[in-house]
Copies of this chain bind each other. A is one copy, B any other.
Amino acid sequence: MVKTKRLCTLLCRLMALGATVSAAIVMATSHEKANFYSVSFEAKYSHTPAFKYFVIANAIVSVYGVLVLFLPSESLLWRLVVALDVVFTLLLTSSVSAALAIAQVGKHGNSYAGWLPICGQVPNYCGHVKGALVAGFIGVILYALLILYSIHTVLDPLLLRKN
C-alpha cells in the first residue's frame, strides 16, 4: 500500500516535470515572422515580459523537479519538500496566469484600450504559445494535487480516519 502510494507520487512528479520542461521549451522556441501591410515583423516570446517570466519560472520548477527525484524516500528532507512544493507551485501558478492574461489579449485584443489581436497575423506563434500554456497548466494542476495529497496524508483534513 505504502509502495503503491509512493509510486503514484513519483509518477505524478515525473509527469509534472515533463509538463514544466515541455512548457518552457515550447514557449522558448515560439517565434514567427510575418508581413503586415508590407511591414515585416517577428513575433517572439522574448518580446513579452510575461512570456519571459513563464519560461524562467518553468525552467526553475523543472530544475527543482529533477533535484527532488534524487531525494531518497527515507530522507527527513521530504518534510521540507512539502514547503518547497507550495513555494514553487505559487511561482508556477503566477507565471501561467500572467502568460494566459497576455495570450488572451493577443487572441481577442482589447477594443477599449485600442489593443488589436495579433493571432490573425502570426497563427503558428499563437499555436505554440497555446501549447506551452496547456503544458504549464497541467504542471500547476499536478503540483497542486501533490500538495493536497501531502496535506491529506499528514493532516487528514476530511477527518476520514477514526481517532
Contact = CB atoms under 8 A, between A and B. Distances in A.
A20 to B, nearest CB: 16
Interface residues of A, number: 50
Nearest to A104: B49
A105 B94 contact: no
A56 interface: no
Contacts of A81: 157
Contacts of A41: 112
A95 B101 CA distance: 10
A135 interface: no
Interface in A86-101: 86-87, 89-90, 93-101
Contact of A144 (B48, B49, B90, B110): B90
16 contacts: A43-B112, A49-B104, A50-B101, A79-B157, A80-B157, A81-B157, A82-B151, A83-B151, A86-B86, A93-B93, A93-B94, A94-B97, A97-B98, A101-B101, A102-B102, A106-B113
Given A83-B155, A94-B97, A99-B101, 8 more contacts: A47-B112, A79-B157, A82-B151, A86-B144, A86-B147, A97-B97, A101-B101, A113-B115
